[in-house]
Structure 1
Amino acid sequence: MTMKPKHLIKGDTVGIIAPASPPNQENLQRSLAFLKDLGLHVKFGRHVHNEYGYLAGSDDERLEDLHNMFKDKEVKAVICAGGGYGTGRIAASIDYKLIEQNPKIFWGYSDITFLHTAIYQRTGLATFHGPMLASDIGREEADDLSKASFNQLFEPAPFTYSETMSSLETIVEGKAAGTIIGGNLSLLASTIGTPFEADTKDKILLIEDINEEPRAVDRMLNQLHMAGKLTEAAGFLLGDFNNCVPQREQSLSLEEVLDHYIKLAGKPAIKGFLIGHCSPHYAIPLGVTASMNTGEKKVVIESGVQ
């Protein structure tokens, strides 16, 4: 059963954490003006400025910030500064009972996909796959449509994605409905064989990625296919695959790889969503019910807040 966090109101405090790699600190500071314009106050995690190689602090430090934000009664939403790598390292140590007892908005994407998957499967809490502060919002060329996605946090209303937002293309025709899950393909593949293996049964699966050659996308989709994760799904939304181009002359195209596995699964599928490592980047809630219709090239997702 899905549990929705409470929506934000002006004057609320949001907590900022870096559960993966060190965020760009200049971009992070620049993003604060955006949050202020939304009428929000900000509380930083104690270790959000730490660096430990390719991690934003040790596993214990990043875990501490995550736990503290869910414990803090003043904090109404937990916003990730950036992605990179590292959330899978802390997933097994998270106190999911703490999150379940203190449900609040959790927002991020990319490496944060591991946490979206783990949190939903362990607690039923709906989370948000959306542009992050240092990675997107704080960039000098940040897109206004990406920023507008945060408005979803203030009012419980369905989100509709149609061809008015980007050019969409049907891969497999049909209609489907189910809980929407997913995110970054690399992270979804990395859950296989772990206690947090993505449960795709009767779900609408969102996938996106960045900087992966078609053969790498092929490998990861093949892994999901052999694990039964694609045939179990109810339908597919294909987001942005930024810079997923061949690095060698002999290669299948990204489109050939995606089409092969999606058609093999034989479930309704649409590609072309500006969701992922792109600009603009539209946020969507995960863990809530969505319905898709390839004839209308439209997806309707229920609100991720109450």
Structure 2
Amino acid sequence: MSSRRQFIETVAKSAIATLIASPLKSGKAATPPILKPARLKPGSIVGIVSPASATFLREELDIVIDVVRGLGMVPKLAPHILDRYGYLGGKDKDRAADINQFFADPKVTAILPMRGGWGCSRILPYLDYQLIRKNPKIIVGFSDITALILGINAKTNLVTFHGPNGLTSWRTKQTDSFRRVLESAETMTFQNLKDDGDESRLMQLKYRQQTITPGRAQGKLIGGNLSVLSGIVGSPYMPDLNGAILFLEEINENIYRIDRLMTHLKIAGVFNKLAGFIFGQCKGCSPDADYGSLTLEEVVWDHIQPLGIPSWYGAMIGHIEPIVTLPIGLDVEIDATAGTIRMLEPAVV
């Protein structure tokens, strides 16, 4: 009996020692370390892809080629760049294959989509995330490209970039933001831009930030187009939003649809996880003609003010010019009174 008791005690002590040495597994995979892509340099090769809507005019591709050359980089065209499958830029697996190919190509430094539109969510299951993680590089875009930059960040922890697509204007301020973040590796502070010229006074009247709840907060920056982001909530392609700073923008939506999308984020538990919130621009989002429509401000305040987190409205982020280049998945600090987003470290190496 004594030896049996000693055996049981020995087994129990061994089990306890094993638990102490090896923490219990939660069933959730550990978050991989943050990955930063290499910076752009003069002569860097930029892969041009069409991951969303189709390009119908060869002239538009020529414009993007000239843009890349104008930046001092070398354009490289994806094999399926001018494919068309209905409104999409080719079949899903082909569009994904172009992105996989450019991540695998050691000569390519950055990947630039032609345009947004629709289609990036469809290719997320076909991307090779192990390949992407082993070959981190710059990928940038906005609008429907939201799904692509969020999906890659969620699956690899690679810092991606909410910024220009190939067919945006590339005016001076937009190009300056792009270069400072991706080429000079600056830790920038973003806020609504102001110009001194008479021709810009109307713009200064238009883009004004309003504080919803004052204060400062730090967290990784996540965000993009509201419709696209809402569409991937609950999927493995949505980054972890615990303690994050979320920014949203939209275009040409009725107010009740904005309300519907934000309500979806609310009841999905997204807003309760956040450390801070920013609402950008909603171009073409006016109240309905019907009597009794809520305003956009009322909808945003209804959803965000009760959270009590630092938040503001009216950031120059969205389908507007210039399009600033914001790092997705990088830690930032926001000031909801000043309306600023401050990078805490460079986004590229």
Specify the TM-score bucket, using the shorter chain as the normaliser. Answer: over 0.9
Residues 275 and 283 of structure 1 are in contact (CA less than 8 Å); yes or no, is this contact kept in structure 2? no
Q: Tell me which residue corresponds to 1:285.
A: 327
**Contact 2:44 / 2:108 at 8 angstroms: preserved in 1?**
yes
CA contact (8 A) 1:231 1:266 kept: no
Q: Give secondary structure in 1 for the equivalent of 2:248.
A: strand
1:86 paired residue number = 119
Q: 2-side partners of 1:222 and 1:161: how far apart?
A: 28
Structure 1: which 5+ residue stretches go unaligned?
A: none
Please provide the CA RMSD for this pair: 1.6
Work out which of the residue numbers 233, 242, 245 in structure 2 matches 1:201: 242
Q: Which residue, 54, 57, 61 being the options, matches 2:94?
A: 61
Which of 60, 76, 80 aligns to 1:47? It is 80
Larger RCO, structures 1/2 (Cα 8 Å, 6+ apart): 1
* Contact 1:210–1:242 (Cα < 8 Å) also in 2: yes
CA contact (8 A) 2:312 2:339 kept: yes
The answer for the alignment partner of 2:279 in structure 1 is 238
2:138 and 2:213 mapped to 1: Cα distance?
33
Identify the residue that residue 37 of structure 1 maps to in structure 2. Answer: 70
Output the amino acid matched with 1:20: A
- TM-score (structure 1 length as normaliser): 0.93
Cα 1:78–1:171 shift into 2, 3 Å: same
Change in Cα spacing, 1:163 to 1:40, as seen in structure 2 (3 Å) is: closer
| Amino acid in structure 1 at the alignment position of 2:158 | L
Contact 1:231–1:267 (CA<8 Å) still a contact in 2? Answer: no
Output aligned runs, 1:1-306, within 5 Å: 1-23=33-55, 25=57, 26-134=59-167, 136-137=168-169, 143-151=171-179, 152-165=181-194, 167-250=208-291, 251-301=293-343, 302-306=345-349
Q: Could you say what secondary structure the match of 1:100 adopts?
A: helix
Question: What code does the residue aligned with 2:40 have?
Answer: L
Q: d(CA) in 1 for partners of 2:81 and 2:193? A: 37
Matches of 2:131 and 2:91 in 1, distance apart?
A: 21
Structure of greater Rg: 2
Give SS of 1:133's match.
Answer: coil
Q: Secondary structure at the match of 2:278?
A: strand
Whole-angstrom CA distance in 2 between matches of 1:207 and 1:292: 15
Instruction: Work out the CA distance in 2 between the residues paired with 1:249 and 1:147.
Output: 41
- TM-score normalised over the length of structure 2: 0.82
Residues 245 and 254, structure 1, Cα contact 8 Å, conserved in 2: yes
Deviation at 1:32, TM superposition (A): 2.5
Residue 245 of structure 2 aligns with an amino acid whose one-letter code is I
The number of aligned residues is 301
Identity %: 36
